[in-house]
Amino acid sequence: MSDLNRLTIAAARDLLKKRAVTSRELTEACLAAIDGAGALNAFAHHTPDLARERAAAADARLAKGEAPAMCGIPVGIKDLFCTKGVPSQAASNILSGFRPEYESTVSQQLADAGSVMLGKLNMDEFAMGSSNETSVYGPAVNPWKVDDRKLTPGGSSGGSAAAVAADLCLGATGTDTGGSIRQPAAFTGITGIKPTYGRCSRWGIVAFASSLDQAGPMTKDVRDAAIMLTAMSGHDPKDSTSANLAVPDFEAALTGDIRGKVIGIPREYCMDGMPEEIEALWQNGAQMLRDAGATIRDISLPHTKYALPAYYVVAPAEASSNLARYDGVRYGLRAKLGPGDGVTEMYEKTRAEGFGREVQRRVMIGTYVLSAGFYDAYYNRARKVRALIKRDFEMVFADGVDAILTPATPSAAFGLGSMADADPIAMYLNDVFTVTVNLAGLPGVSVPAGLDAQGLPLGLQLIGKPWEEGDLLNHAYVLERAAGFVAKPAKWW
């Protein structure tokens, strides 16, 4: 069978169970695809030997008839996840050479479920970015292309998005602090879900902003997202914010029936200067859900406008604290010191050399808003606004809304380098539709819903109630089937 790397997780799983293909064959197909896709710069670290070892183990399990959900499925892991003995450097120079002595809970769960890790995926440094351009490895490249320009796959999970869209793996892990799963998923025509805060353990994932970070799957369709999310989820005593709740079979929730459900359309998400295509896509999406028997209701989330500024206080504040651990002592880089340099010079030179520009900027912003005299004016105020943003959602859900439909991004993928001279705020605006969800801790999913006039994918976002990822994915499944998005990027790499 050819093109095994193009299979969905669900299709591969069924073939593996029938013994019609082996994990070895699937894995070799993906490794060959990765070897031929250097131009996409999606994989930063390759682990073919480990992959072959895990594929052999998966085939042995399958032969014995014990096949957990992800058994034998080749996946990519974002570089933010610590993987034992394998470089895990969050796309930062400051973690160069770091090989963890331990495995993150999520990647361990995926391994226990039989999946095969192909390597580590490119991303923005410490997950801070929306275009993958802050990566120490250089940017991952979007497999979608409409002219001579190389386009961004989005960020921060840009390598994950590029790898899944280009069929280099069957699925990939991402993480999402302000939109880092959903925005790249939308830019590359794939599905990505950020689950409820606390659904997936954060243990072993390099921390950016601990009250916002969540891991989630990035896959070729909604069913695959449900399968992979089930394997990634669950209570972990090693993460004090991990929810002690049973994990439902999310795939079983995909009934395709949303009759009688109420879909909210938040009027504040209609932004000035929003491209007509995005507006039209949004209206089409609402019509598709209406045609499926749902009721469409106009709703208001009045504090939406303040989500981005609140986020850009809270996230850098938490980052400045989390990134204090990179001091040149315990792991990673230590700068070359001059004669007479003491501990302070070691810290300052190491962090100046090790952190890229955007990371330095955010660490300093965070330091400033937490410093004496500004804590109340910035940090506490932002946390109060965050409480109001969360309350907006709670009131809408209490009013009977089952899911909220919004655009995923304010534009399609843009050219790499095209934002080089823009101020940082222009880049931050990429997260305008996604960031509210992180502040409120809610689940959100991006589903590919169409192409723009240039022929680039556009996504719609559905936002659900806490812990109702199954119901949310079912809405996404209905939208996916109605939109019928099947386009794939033409291979140029």
* 112-141: contacts with other proteins (CB under 8 A): none
Binding mask 268-287 vs other proteins (x if CB under 8 A, - otherwise)? --------------------
- Name the minimum Å distance from CB 335 to other proteins: 9
Candidate list 23, 160, 180, 233, residue with the active-site label? 180
Tokens of 410: 């304010």
CA 95 to chain centroid, in Å, comes to: 21
320-379 binders of other proteins (CB under 8 A) = 320, 324, 327-334, 337, 341-349, 351-352, 355, 360-361, 363-365, 367-369, 371, 378
Locus of tokens 């005299």: 373
Q: Name the minimum Å distance from CB 449 to other proteins.
A: 28
User: For other proteins, which residue of 386, 404, 471, 489 counts as binding (CB under 8 A)?
Assistant: 386
Query: Which of 146, 271, 274, 388 lies at the binding interface for other proteins (CB under 8 A)?
Result: 388
CA 355 – CA 96 distance, rounded (Å) = 11
Site for other proteins in 182-221 (CB under 8 A): 196-198, 211
Measured CA distances, 41 to 80, 168, 373 (Å):
16, 11, 44
- Distance between CA 433 and CA 268 in Å, rounded? 10
Distance from C-alpha of 131 to C-alpha of 152, rounded to nearest angstrom: 5
- Write the DSSP string, 111-127: HHTT-EEEEEE--SGGG
Q: Identify the active-site residue in 92, 156, 157, 233.
A: 156
Token duo for residue 213: 């970070």
**Is 115 noted as a catalytic residue in this protein?**
no
289-308 positions binding other proteins, by CB under 8 A: 303, 305-306, 308
**Nearest distance from residue 79's CB to other proteins, in Å?**
16
Q: Which residues have CB under 8 Å from 140's CB, separation 6+? A: 40, 41, 42, 121, 122, 123, 132, 153, 158, 159, 161, 162
Which of 327/452 has CB closer to other proteins? 327
Q: Minimum distance between the CB of residue 209 and other proteins, rounded to whole angstroms? A: 11
The alpha-carbon radius of gyration of the chain (Å, integer) is: 21
423 binds other proteins (CB under 8 A): yes
Beta bridge partners of 76: 172
Q: Strand runs (DSSP E) across 369-435, as ranges?
A: 403-407
Of residues 39-78, those binding other proteins (CB under 8 A): none
Q: Which of 154, 441, 457, 470 binds other proteins (CB under 8 A)?
A: 441
- In the residue annotation, 156 being an active-site residue is answered as yes
> Which residues are the active-site residues?
78, 156, 180
